[in-house]
């Protein structure tokens, strides 16, 4: 979690150094979509719900997903709900500020999504589906940011996906 805090501090310092407000990392200036906060929250929850449900389904039906979960589950076995919440909060907030708030506005959807997926490069061949899902979600998050004009929906979706999937991995590790 410390690395996320350091990345955020560096990015904020960079914006201040070049004379821009760090608040510009949270929204697209002069964006035409004036969706209400309620719609953005609903969009974030809906995207998270669909992806978490999909993850759960895939984890029950496919051997490769079961193997992947079995490899990741022990990492979260002894994490408290507070630690899981802080991990999901810090990773989703900092990743979205960096990938959507900065990279997407600076270099576009394709570059931000590909770099997001690339940073989830597998340590093992069996982790490739994790990288593919991160790449896919990088595009989904980028399109959500482009549509809404700010990070509200994207942050809610990313946080919820991380939170519920990590809890599912923890539950799996406790039962095995």
> Residue 133 has what pLDDT?
94
Per DSSP, helices labelled H in the chain are 2-17, 37-61, 63-76, 81-96, 105-107, 109-118, 128-148, 152-175
Does residue 122 contact residue 72 with C-beta atoms inside 8 Å?
Answer: no
- Does 7 score more than 90 pLDDT? no
> Residue 1 has what pLDDT?
67
Say what percent of the chain tops pLDDT 90.
Answer: 73
List the domain boundaries for the chain. 36-175
Say what percent of the chain tops pLDDT 70.
Answer: 98
- 108: pLDDT confidence band, cut at 50, 70 and 90? very high
Question: Which of the two residues, 101 and 4, has the higher pLDDT score?
Answer: 101
Mean pLDDT of 87-108: 94
Note the Cα 97 to chain centre separation in Å.
10
């Amino acid at each position: 979690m410390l690395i996320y805090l350091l990345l955020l501090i560096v990015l904020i310092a960079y914006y201040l150094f070049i004379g821009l407000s760090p608040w510009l990392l949270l929204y697209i200036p002069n964006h035409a979509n004036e969706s209400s906060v309620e719609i953005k929250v609903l969009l974030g929850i809906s995207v998270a719900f669909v992806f978490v449900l999909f993850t759960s389904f895939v984890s029950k039906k496919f051997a490769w997903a079961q193997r992947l979960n079995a490899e990741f589950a022990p990492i979260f076995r002894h994490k408290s709900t507070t630690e899981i919440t802080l991990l999901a909060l810090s990773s989703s907030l900092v990743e979205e500020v960096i990938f959507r708030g900065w990279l997407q506005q600076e270099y576009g959807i394709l570059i931000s999504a590909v770099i997001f997926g690339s940073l989830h490069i597998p340590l093992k061949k069996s982790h490739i589906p994790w990288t593919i899902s991160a790449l896919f979600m990088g595009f989904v998050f980028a399109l959500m940011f482009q549509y809404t004009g700010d990070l509200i929906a994207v942050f809610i979706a990313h946080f919820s996906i991380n939170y519920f999937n990590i809890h599912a991995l923890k539950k799996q590790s406790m039962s095995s």
